[in-house]
């Protein structure tokens, strides 16, 4: 028995994941259902997508409209443990969902864009900026932060990673290129013992916070640091021990979660159609974001941030910032509009 037809007009954007194998391929009712679904999805442009997952080699024989779509190739991962295959599938799907949200956001911003423009925006890779110190020493030999950054760079595919030594074009100012890439990338801060002592590492964190880009801290501390940099909080932190390079993929996957959440939040903010006195922040507010709003003259009105609401202790702390600023979680703000 096949599922009920999917209403592709019910949601603003729709992703359908189909797990395909030999049994399904030999079921005419299921094949007809999927072929019809694939044709209807193509008629929506990029607003809806079908993601077929080949669980075995026979899945590719389905052909028709489904066969014209690029598959996620689970069957090629059989040499890996099941948990690794599962993580890889979740990573692949999260990346594609993030692309769909980015595409939908672009349509909201540019409703008159051509089909080719939309496709170009869809296939553009997500950029990852690897913020790290080159001044760590492990037993006096290895530049620890740099080694981790290299391991992460190898794990970011199919994302596009930025590694300063390799990606700063000759002839351009080092500082200008770094600031640009921080503003347009998702950031992994590789927090090693020397990280907080390096001026450019601190600058990269501040720039990321000012521009509200997705940010994850990989806690790679071995011994200690003289003074922790206070602006590295308010974001996810993943522990990465010095001998746990197998967890590098978990850091990148967590960053990709933040990327998808960021696009989802930006779509939600765009659709909210709030008045000029409302500012949407992708993370709970902190002093640096409030200071940046003040610098731009936006320290009055309402700040809306993702749920859950801040605790009383933080709310009281922010009250000193000014009586004209109101902090509301998204749910609280929606309730205010009712």
Boundaries of domain holding 164: 127-264
Position of tokens 């960021």?
Answer: 262
Q: Give the C-alpha separation, 23 to 25, whole Å.
A: 5
Which helix H or strand E contains 188, and what residues bound it?
strand 186-191
The domain tally of the chain equals 3
Of 213, 244, 264, the one marking the end of a domain is 264
Query: Does a structural domain hold residue 197?
Result: yes
Is the same domain home to 216 and 285?
Answer: no
Is the same domain home to 145 and 206?
Answer: yes
Of 233, 264, 295, the one marking the end of a domain is 264
Query: Does a structural domain hold residue 207?
Result: yes
Is the same domain home to 115 and 132?
Answer: no
Is the same domain home to 110 and 188?
Answer: no
**pLDDT band at residue 299, thresholds of 50, 70 and 90?**
low
Torsion of CA 268, 269, 272, 277, to 10 degrees: 160
Is the same domain home to 117 and 187?
Answer: no
Q: Give the C-alpha separation, 172 to 169, whole Å.
A: 6
Is the same domain home to 139 and 98?
Answer: no
Measured N-to-C along each axis, helices 199-210 and 287-295 cross at an angle, to the nearest 10 degrees, of 70
Of 213, 246, 264, the one marking the end of a domain is 264
**pLDDT band at residue 298, thresholds of 50, 70 and 90?**
low
pTM of the model: 0.90
Q: Give the C-alpha separation, 326 to 301, whole Å.
A: 6
Percent of the chain clearing pLDDT 90 (strictly above): 59
Q: What is the average per-residue pLDDT within 15-38?
A: 96
């Amino acid at each position: 028995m096949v599922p009920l037809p999917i209403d592709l007009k019910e949601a603003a954007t729709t992703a359908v994941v189909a797990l395909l194998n030999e049994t399904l391929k030999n079921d005419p009712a299921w094949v007809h259902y999927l072929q019809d679904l694939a044709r209807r999805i193509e008629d929506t442009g990029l607003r809806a997508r079908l993601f077929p997952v080949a669980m075995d080699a026979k899945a590719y024989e389905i052909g028709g409209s489904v066969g014209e779509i690029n598959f996620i190739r689970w069957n090629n991962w059989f040499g890996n443990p099941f948990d690794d295959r599962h993580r890889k599938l979740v990573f692949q799907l999260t990346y594609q969902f993030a692309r769909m949200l980015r595409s939908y956001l672009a349509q909201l911003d540019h409703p008159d864009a051509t089909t080719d423009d939309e496709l170009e925006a869809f296939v553009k890779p997500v950029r990852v900026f690897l913020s790290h110190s080159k001044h760590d020493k492990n037993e006096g030999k290895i530049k620890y932060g740099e080694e981790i950054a290299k391991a992460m760079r190898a794990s970011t595919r199919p994302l596009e990673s930025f590694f300063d030594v390799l990606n700063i074009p000759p002839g351009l100012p080092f500082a200008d290129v770094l600031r640009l890439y921080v503003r347009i990338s998702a950031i992994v801060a590789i927090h090693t013992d020397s990280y907080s002592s390096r001026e450019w590492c601190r600058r990269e964190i501040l720039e990321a916070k000012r521009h509200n880009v997705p940010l994850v801290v990989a806690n790679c501390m071995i011994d200690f640091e003289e003074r922790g940099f206070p602006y590295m909080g308010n974001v996810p932190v993943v522990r990465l021990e010095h001998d746990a390079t197998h967890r590098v993929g978990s850091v990148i996957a967590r960053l990709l979660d933040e990327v998808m959440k960021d696009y989802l939040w930006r779509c939600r903010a765009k659709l909210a159609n709030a008045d000029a006195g409302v500012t949407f922040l992708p993370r709970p507010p902190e002093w640096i974001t409030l200071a940046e709003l003040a610098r731009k003259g936006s320290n009055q009105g309402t700040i809306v941030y993702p749920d859950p609401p801040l605790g009383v202790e933080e709310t009281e702390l922010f009250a000193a910032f000014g009586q004209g600023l109101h902090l509301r979680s998204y749910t609280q703000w929606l309730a205010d509009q009712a």
